[in-house]
Amino acid sequence: MRAVVQRVNCASVSVNGEIVSAIDRGLLVFLGVETGDTDSDLMYMVNKLPSLRIFDDENGMPNCSVLDCGGSILLVSQFTLCGDARHGRRPGYSRAARPEEARTMYDRCAQLLAVQVPVQQGVFQADMQVSLVNDGPFTILLDSRRAF
């Protein structure tokens, strides 16, 4: 499971020109589910995301988590994070989980995160337009298999 995590002042998802979810201060998380991801991969993300210390404390140091600052998470499914562009010019997506499997993991991730922090979601398999104001910018890459 892979994630691109962005610290944001605000973010929203629109489908067909209509905003379907939005947050103020918090994390915009693009989540890619790979073939073979297990509960262990899911729990890695569920435990890591709310506790990432990437928000500034009173001294301007990134020592606070989204939990500490009272923020939210906007979770957006993105299979292209599983793309492999090492060969040729067109990425291959054979590592991306099939939609049924990915949707189950994505929904479970959202449910488990929502126990800890307010969560909004994108629309699975929709053509989404994502708007954000990246704070910093501050962007982190996560991989549950710790490939990077």
80 classed as catalytic: yes
Catalytic position from the list 6, 30, 55, 79: 79
Catalytic position from the list 35, 38, 80, 129: 80
Tokens of 5: 């995590």
Catalytic position from the list 6, 78, 120, 121: 78
| DSSP per-residue letters across 30-71 | EEEPBTT--HHHHHHHHHHGGG---EE-TTS-EEE-TTTTT-
The alpha carbon of 93 is separated from its chain's Cα centroid by a whole number of angstroms, namely: 18
78 classed as catalytic: yes
Tell which residue, 37, 10, 23, has the closest CA to residue 101: 37
CA–CA separation, 144 and 148 (whole Å):
9
- Catalytic positions, written as ranges: 78-80
